[in-house]
Chain A
Amino acid sequence: MIEYVNSNSPLHRLDPRSKIIFSFSIMLAAILTSSYIILASLIIISIIIWIMADVPIKKLKPIFLVLFTFVLMGTLTQAVFYTDRTNYTGPVTVLFNLLPYNVPVIGSLPVTVEGLMYGVVFSMRMVVIILAPVIIPFTTHPSDMILVLREMRFPEWMILLITMSIRFIPLTFQNFYTIRNAQKLRKIKTGFHDLMLLMETLLITSLKTSKQMALSLETKAFGYSSKRTSLKTIKFGKKDVIFSAFSLTVLGIVLINTGAVYG
């Protein structure tokens, strides 16, 4: 669903770490604030960054679907249940009832102005929280992410585990579907027992595959030395400093604003 898009956009040229700083700053700012204006500003900033990232609009289709679901569900549930909480002490202004009569346990599901307002804030927050971080996989080549992990002194076995999972997980899924198809071709209705049989076969075939992978790794001198050189390196340059400073400034402004509100 989310995969690297090859481009030479300004976002692609940045060090992955500056994009991680941006994502965390924007996400944290969205979590801390409840201001419509600030949340709207954060959404606009995220959209501008997305435009700069030069990701084809069709690649964003699944993201839009997720966003739409969150916005719809978030607004609706908060509109109905926000004032229903036991610790809610504020005013309750009912706009209309979703159900024309009282249903035991759930009531008539009233939509309140206060709930609706909170629902909008909640949805805007979710939009920012989703939009900001997914920019990273779209604009960062997996090999650069691996370099970040290496820079962060992650153990080599853990890095290998991550890179292998990129390959091994789809391979396992492929095998899962093949075995499931084989079952479907012999049995019309498959149940839990068949799933267990499938998992057993999948486990055996996966263990065989991992054994072969382990042998191949041995012949590639993996684990030869605790030190390991790397052909590629990443550099946190001037552009990264500027982008990170911008991200932290946004977070700072939100922190000051939030402090003023709560203070």
Chain B
Amino acid sequence: MDKIVSINDLSFRYPQSDSYVLNNINLEVKKGEFIGLAGKSGCGKSTLLYHLCGIIPHAVNGHKEGKVEVFGLDTVKHEIPELSTHVGMVFQNPEVQLFSVTVEDEVAFIAENLNYSVEKIKKCLDFSLDAVGIDDLRERYPFELSGGEKQRVAIASAISVKPEVLVLDEPTSELDSHGTEMVLEVLHRLNQAGMTIILAEHHLDEVACYLDRLIVMDDGRIIADDEPRTIFQDRIFESIGLRPPQTVEMGLRLGSSKLPLSVNEALDIFNTIPTITRGIVNQKVQGEEIVEIDRIVEIKDLNFLYGDKKVLRSVNLSINKGEMVGLLGPNGSGKTTLALLMMGLLKPDQGLVRVDGLDPQKDRKKLVHRVGFLFQNPEHQLFCDSVYSELTYGFEGGEDGFEDQEVIDEVINRMGLEKFKNNHPLTLSRGERQRVATATALVKKPEIMIIDEPTTGQDWYHVSSFMNLVQKLNQEGVTIILITHDMRVAAEYCQRLVVMRDGSILLDGDTRSVFSEIDILREADLKPTPLTEISLKVGIKPPLLKLNEIKIGEKNDIQ
């Protein structure tokens, strides 16, 4: 195969930093490869991708050593527009890469900027819309589309001038399972058509089977570059605090010689090893028992309209004290609206909402001190000039100021924020910001925590640290309502799941029984974890949720 990208001895540091983000990177990419780029947040993945499309050095400054060539073009000597005909770039957030008022205009944007003839622009447009399969969206406003559709428009725009390489920086991290599936299907199709794909991604469950090569980075260095199976076999992911796709983990647990990268491959392995299959099939699954205690949230016949649109339709929901409930559903299903109604920030059009016995509309003052709310983006809930003042925000002038001080100190210690106490919250890393945001809720010693999409765009190391903390809070008696798209998090941490679609509750029950209803989940555009899917396919119902539930044994040993 032809070499199309060549990186030699590349090191880079940003102007304001003394440490190098990239350290002596050497890499070659061949035509038609589908390459995955993995690593913890801040390991240098995005910086490396910026070098490929010329953002570095042309739009972002820093100290660079080494050489990057794309199609023989030195990225230092050739400007971004010239490189854009060879390398298309797609960013994490679709919102920041759509500039036009119709999808058609958006997809034609690069070709128009490059001053192509109208005939050539039309050809680019037709090629791109067809390749990505969004011809039906041609006349739509890009900002009215779903997350998955927006990201497909961004991909169509990036490939409109037919670049040979498409570079994507975590394009699915802000999407629900349906959106993720749509985007990955498009990438697979483009790769099949001959396009080289370089994809930085945290969650490889869906994409591992498409990859020709997997590059793992840590602390600015490439620590592994090989065929995915070899990397997973060598336990590289685990060594840096990440976790491989769940099918791989299943294969490792079952001692499979060829690690499965997809659900079908995992199924094939089970079918070829009958004793193991029987072991799983016959394993007795112990369902978690939910003991009814006090009802802490009570919602009856709740309806909410936003303008003419019915966002919630006759929602009925009770949550018991001490439960950890996952609220699942595609984007726009009404999850966050429901949470805001529980906090009294929205007024119901009809129905009853009671939280801890209080009417959120009338008793918001009391409720604010009993319920902690964490938004998806911690940046939106940090507005003071130091971590300490952030934690005291809302307590100023309180009668029990001294007691609050003790609580604040305790929370600072618990969240490991001592050394950041005087730092501006927005100068911290994403994980640290999330800890500060959590601390702002914990200083109230809340009885309930509502957490909106805490794992978006984060690697497993940060996800597990945060979720273990949430689980500990739950064990201490805090009721947790977790809004999430992450099925593995829902399966492994929640005792109960509520599935929403179009403002209604489709399913409500303990985690196992909800995951048993795979058809209804599909109706809500949700895809269960590979383990759940496989266990259902081999006949385990209710399905397995955690890897440690897989027991290997002889047929007769198992009940």
Would you call B108 and A185 a contact (CB within 8 A)?
Answer: no
Cα-based distance from A127 to B371 in the complex (angstroms): 50
Q: Please tell me which one of the listed residues A184, A212, A225 contacts residue B345 in the complex, with CB atoms under 8 A apart.
A: A184
Residues of the A chain whose Cβ atoms lie less than 8 Å from the Cβ of B345: 181, 184-185
Contact present for A142 and B116 (CB under 8 Å): no
CB contact under 8 A between A229 and B115, given known A201-B382, A205-B380? yes
Residue A183 lies at the interface, judged by CB distance under 8 Å to chain B = yes
Segment 169-203 of A: residues with Cβ below 8 Å from B: 170-171, 175, 178-179, 181-188, 194, 197-198, 200-201
Interchain CB contact (< 8 A) of A231 among B58, B99, B108, B440: B108
Say yes or no: A218-B393 contact (C-beta < 8 A), given A167-B143, A201-B380: no
A153 within 8 A of B: no
Q: Name the CB-closest residue of B to A187.
A: B394
CA distance A228 to B96 in the complex (A): 22
Q: Report B-chain residues with C-beta under 8 Å of the C-beta of A182.
A: 373, 375, 380-381, 383
> Which B residues lie within 8 Å of A235 (CB)?
none
Q: Mark B117-157, 1 if CB is under 8 A from A, else 0.
A: 11001100100000000000000011100000000000001
B-side interface residues, number (CB < 8 Å): 64
| A216: nearest chain-B partner, CB-CB | B97
A221 touches B394 (CB 8 A): no
Expressed in whole angstroms, the minimum distance between the Cβ of A197 and any Cβ of chain B is 4
- In this assembly, does A215 line the interface, its C-beta being within 8 Å of a C-beta of chain B? yes
Contact of A188 among B125, B365, B384 (CB under 8 A): B365
Please determine whether A215 and B60 come into contact, CB atoms closer than 8 angstroms.
yes
State whether the Cβ of A7 lies closer than 8 Å to any Cβ in chain B: no
Q: Which of B109, B121, B368 contacts A185 (CB 8 A)?
A: B368
Question: Contact at B105–A231, with CB atoms within 8 Å?
Answer: yes
Known: A142-B101, A220-B157. A198 touches B383 (CB 8 A): yes
Residues of A within 8 A of B95 (CB): 167, 171, 209
**A167 x B113 contact (CB < 8 A):** no
Mark each residue of chain B from 74 to 91: 1 if its CB lies under 8 Å from any CB of chain A, else 0. Answer: 000001110010001101
Partner of B81, one of A164, A186, A224, A230: A224
- Pair A219/B115 contact, Cβ less than 8 Å: no
Cα-based distance from A183 to B121 in the complex (angstroms)? 48
B343 within 8 A of A: yes
**Residues on the B chain within 8 Å of A73, using CB:** none
**Interface 0/1 of A212-254, CB less than 8 Å to B:** 1111111111111101111110000000000000000000000
* In the assembled complex, A86 has its CB within 8 A of some CB on chain B: no
Most chain A Cβ neighbours within 10 Å, of B89, B99, B118, B382: B99
The answer to whether B116 touches A216, judged by C-beta atoms less than 8 angstroms apart, is no
B95-111 interface bits toward A, Cβ cutoff 8 Å, 1 = contact, 0 = none: 11111111011001111
- Once A188-B365, A188-B368, A231-B125 are accepted as A-B contacts, the answer to whether A215 and B59 lie under 8 Å apart by CB is yes
Given the interface pairs A215-B91, A225-B115, A231-B118, the reply to whether A143 lies near B102 with Cβ below 8 Å is yes
Q: Are B96 and A212 in contact (CB under 8 A)?
A: yes
Check B115 against A227 for contact (C-beta < 8 Å).
Answer: yes
Which A residues lie within 8 Å of B393 (CB)?
186-187
Q: B80–A221 contact, CB under 8 A?
A: yes
Residue of A nearest to B108 (CB): A231
B224 on the interface (CB 8 Å rule)? Answer: no
Docked CA distance A205–B50 (Å): 21
Shortest CB–CB separation between residue A175 and chain B, in angstroms?
A: 7
Q: Is B364 in contact with chain A by the CB < 8 A criterion?
A: yes
- Contact present for B384 and A197 (CB under 8 Å): yes
Evaluate contact between B112 and A231: CB separation under 8 angstroms. yes
CA distance A197 to B390 in the complex (A): 11
Given contacts A187-B393, A231-B105, A231-B125, contact A215 B55 (CB under 8 A): yes
What CA separation (Å) do A160 and B364 show in the bound complex? 43
Q: Which residues from chain B sit less than 8 Å from chain A, CB to CB?
A: 50, 53-55, 58-60, 79-81, 84, 88-89, 91, 93, 95-102, 104-105, 108-118, 121-122, 125, 141-143, 157-158, 340, 343, 345, 364-365, 368, 371, 373, 375, 377, 379-384, 393-394, 426, 440
Interface on A for B, CB 8 Å cutoff?
141-143, 146, 160, 163-164, 166-167, 170-171, 175, 178-179, 181-188, 194, 197-198, 200-201, 204-205, 208-209, 212-225, 227-232
Known: A216-B96, A217-B99, A225-B114. 11 other contacts (CB 8 A): A143-B100, A160-B99, A167-B98, A201-B383, A224-B81, A228-B115, A229-B116, A231-B104, A231-B112, A231-B122, A232-B105
What are 10 A-B contacts defined by CB distance under 8 Å? A163-B99, A185-B368, A185-B371, A186-B394, A201-B382, A215-B60, A220-B99, A224-B113, A231-B105, A232-B105
